[in-house]
Structure 1
Amino acid sequence: MSAFDIGLVSFGAMVVMVYLGFWVPFALMLSSYFGVWAIKGSPVLAGKLLALAASETISSYFFGVVPLFVLMGYLVSVTGMGRDAFDVANHLFRRMSGGLGIGTVGANAIFAAITGISIASAAVFTRIAVPEMIRHGYSPRFAVGVVAGSSVLGMLIPPSLLLILYGLLTEQSVGDLFIAGVIPGILLALIFGGGIWLTARLRPQWLGDGHTTAAQSTLSRVEVMQKGLPIASLIGLVLGGIYGGFFTPIEAGAVGCAGAILIGLLRRSLGWRDFWQVLTDTGLITASISFLIIAAQMYSRMLALSGVPTGFGEFVATAEIGYWGVIFAYVGLVILMGTILDSSSIMLILVPLMLPVLVTMQVDLIWFGIITIIAVEIGLLTPPFGISVFVIKSALTDLDIPLGEIFRGAAPFALMMLVLLALVLAFPILATALV
């Protein structure tokens, strides 16, 4: 059996293990180890090669950005800035049709700019926004759909953990990827808001039987300043520092953590017990991400040794499906895999496989990264996996809304994401204009 055949068998075995319920990093590591063993003929050499890949990956200076932004996201969540963002956004859009829904989208966009974790957004706003919308006459389906849809902004609007992961996999500048995500992220928020407003104007019954405007209670200017200034300051500190060239992404993460801790202490919303819980959760998430990235690098080394990416590239070149044929096939495969796998796993499996092909075709890897994130994020809302939907279901402690109802509520937002995907495919400048 040739090295190429062994690579294909290892890839197939990995896919089977994933379908059987293996944790994705274990599936990647096992298939990589046995694949290298079969190619090199030595289990000891296979172990040493994969250990080298692991040590090189996790000791990289650029990996430091992961725990720092995870820590900042949890600090922002525990100090109550998520609720403040919702209150401020609801106040700003209170006079518009569907104002409470649009306010939820706006709050998620603000929250995304200081966290970068879609799951955190889904959990926070399920508890904050869903009961408030239902109380003001919105249907449960619409309420959970808005939260599910707008939660994906956390992985597109920088800082974003998926953009960091993509940068590590492709050795692209994380700062450039963050900048590239600004326009598509803002555009997606506008598409979501516009879709809600049009629905409220043309089909108000789809939003619910009650009022489709926000709550009548408003905030005073002082309250808006008190709630909005800490959030704006943290966003300006982190993103302004990156875009202004004052900080690297890693330094910005550290500065953002310090800023979030300072804000929590000044507001007296961060106690020792909360801080310990934040550190524990950050450690757990960072460890999970570390396993994912290590496994991805092992998988990449095995593929490179087998020659599968090179063979795949030659196949694409001789198949004559053209540049756009490759791009569309990739996007379709990502969206299809989104129905059964989480976002990180899809990227870990497909990006190393496609990278040699993309380099040969001279594809702009920054633009391609944004395309990948958008396509991957659609999977957060699609059955049967739809991890954001499951997070919302688990966070609905006081409401009994069926899982199918949440998926149906999220479906229009998945369609709106397809619109954004088409726009970025048709107009790459939307992702590259600021880079």
Structure 2
Amino acid sequence: MTPVEIGTLSVIAIVTMVYLGMYIPIALGLVSFVSIWVISGKPILAFNFLKVAVSDGVTEYSFATIPLFTVMGLLVSRAGLGSDIYTVLNRAFRRLLGGIGMATVGANAVFAAVTGSSIASASVFTKIAVPEMRNLNYNKRFAVGVVAGSSVLGMIIPPSAMLIIYSFVSETSVGDMFLAGIVPGLILTAAYIAWILFAGKMFPSYLGEGINDAEDIPLTTYELLDKTVPITALIAIVLGGIYTGWLTPVEAGAAGALAALVIALIRRTITWRELWETAIETGHITASILFLIAMASLYSRMLGYAGLPNELNNALQTYQFGFVEVMIIYVILMLFLGTILDTASIILIVVPLFITLVESMGMSIVWFGIITVIGAEIGLLTPPLGISCFVIKTSLNDPTISLKDVFFGAFPFAVIMLLVLILLIAYPVLSIGILG
């Protein structure tokens, strides 16, 4: 077999193995190692590829953003900042039909700006928002759907773990990826709120029958400051430091982690034992991501050695596919893979295949990253995988809400994500215009 044929079979093998339940880094590393061995006929070359891939993953300075932002997100959850911002926004939107859903979207957007995790958002707001909406007679599918839909904001609004992973795979600046995620994240947030407002006016039964407004008790000035100042300060330190150029992403992660720890200690929401558990959990998450990135690096090198990206580029040029056709193919591929794989797997498998083509067509690698993350994130809301939907169902203590209800509730938000994705493809300036 030719190297290209071996490379193609390796991609199919990886997708199959991941779908069958094999741990993603193991699938990436094992297949890539064997493929290099088969192509070259020299096991020592496969070991050399592995050594370089692991060494690059460990020594990359910007990789330090992973543990720092991870511990910051865990400490923010411990400090209860998610429930604080939800309470404030709930009061602000209370007078609007569906206002509690809008508050959930807004709170998720703010929470995403300090955690960067869709799974964390889904878990936190399932426990906070869903019970309150159910108590007010909101439709159960709307209640879980709005949490599922807005939880994905954690992967596009910086600091986002997926944007960091993409930056490693594509060798792009983490800071540039964070900047590029701002406007798309705000557009998606606004689109969700607009949908809830429109549905409340045109299809009130979608929100629920006989909705009762909770008593509108205004927050005192002290309560308002207590619930908004900490998270506002944290966002200002992290994102403000990055966007003004005062801090690198690594330094911003360290400053944010320290600030989150100070907030949790001042509020007395974390014990020394919980702090130790947070450190251990951070280590587990960091180690797993490091292993993932190292094996993804080996996979990328294997594809380049097999010549598969160049062959894909030549094939598309032979059929004279232009920008529109390539993007249609890419989005369809992302949507398909999103039904069976998680976001990180999609980024690690697909990006190395298409990155050469994107560069040859003169498209921005940063813009391509935003398109990739949003396209892959749609999969968090679609069956059969739909990780956010599974997290919500697992976090619920309500036997009347089935996984089917969660998927049906999330469907309108998945459609909105697709429409926003098309908008960002049509107008790249919305993503990269902020970079100047």
TM-score bracket relative to the smaller structure: over 0.9
- Structure 2: which amino acid aligns with 1:196? I
Query: TM-score, normalization: structure 1?
Result: 0.98
What CA deviation, in whole Å up to 9, does each residue of 1:163-204 have, x standing for no partner? Answer: 111111111111111111111101111111111111112211
In the alignment, which residue of structure 2 is the partner of 1:289? 289
Query: Is it true that 1:17 corresponds to 2:14 in the alignment?
Result: no
Given that 1:99 and 1:213 are in contact with CA atoms closer than 8 Å, whether structure 2 keeps it comes out as no
Instruction: Please list the CA deviations of residues 7-26 of structure 1 after superposition, one character each: whole Å capped at 9, or x if unmatched.
Output: 22222222222232211211
Aligned to 1:421: 421
CA RMSD of aligned residues (A): 1.3
Q: Deviations over 1:209-254 (max 9, x none)?
A: 2326565233222211110110101011110000011000010000
Tell whether the 8 Å contact from 1:112 to 1:153 is kept in structure 2 after alignment.
yes
Deviation digits for residues 52-75 of structure 1 (CA, Å, limit 9, x no counterpart): 211112211011111111111111
Matched residue, 1:218:
218
After superposition, where does 1:219-258 map in structure 2 within 5 Å?
219-258=219-258
Deviation at 1:100, TM superposition (A): 0.6
**2:168 matches 1:168:** yes
Q: Could you tell me which residue of structure 1 aligns to residue 371 of structure 2?
A: 371
TM-superposed deviation, 1:283: 1.5
TM-score, structure 2 length as denominator? 0.97
**Equivalent position SS for 1:434:** helix
Matches of 1:400 and 1:275, distance apart in 2: 36
The residue correspondences of 1:296-311 to structure 2 (distance < 5 A) are: 296-311=296-311
Q: Trace 1:23-422 onto structure 2 (pairs within 5 A).
A: 23-211=23-211, 213=213, 215-422=215-422
Q: Which amino acid aligns with 2:53?
A: A
Structure 1 residues 325, 214: closer, same or farther in 2, change over 3 A? farther
For the residues of structure 2 that align with 1:232 and 1:35, how far apart are their CA atoms? 49
3-state secondary structure, aligned to 2:265 = helix
Task: Find the aligned partners of 1:236 and 1:258 in 2 and give their Cα distance.
Answer: 14
Matched position secondary structure for 1:4: helix
* Contact map agreement 1:199 1:207 (CA 8 A) in 2: yes
Aligned partners of 1:42, 1:192: CA distance in 2, in Å?
A: 54
Contact kept in structure 2, 1:144 and 1:392, CA below 8 Å:
yes
What is the aligned residue count? 435
Name the amino acid aligned to 2:143.
Answer: A
**Aligned equivalents of 1:195 and 1:2: distance in 2?**
51
Question: Quick check: 408-417 or 39-48, which moved more?
Answer: 39-48
**What is the alpha-carbon distance in structure 1 between the residues aligned to residue 192 and residue 8 of structure 2?**
41
Contact 2:164 2:174 in 1 (8 A): yes
Is the contact between residue 99 and residue 212 of structure 1 (CA under 8 Å) also seen in structure 2? no
Stretches of structure 1 lacking an aligned partner (at least 5 in a row): none
Q: Deviations over 1:239-290 (max 9, x none)?
A: 0000011000010000000000011111111211221221122122212211
The amino acid across from 1:138 in the alignment is: Y
Is structure 2 residue 16 aligned with structure 1 residue 3?
Answer: no
Q: Distance in 2 between matches of 1:336 and 1:402?
A: 24
Query: What letter matches 1:308 in structure 2?
Result: L
> How many angstroms apart in 2 are the aligned matches of 1:283 and 1:258?
17
Q: Is the 8 A contact 1:98 1:212 kept in 2?
A: no
Distance in 2, Cα, partners of 1:414 & 1:214: 29
Which amino acid in structure 1 is aligned with residue 137 of structure 2? G
Greater mean deviation of Cα atoms: 311-320 or 279-288: 279-288
Does the CA-based 8 Å contact 2:11-2:349 persist in structure 1?
A: no
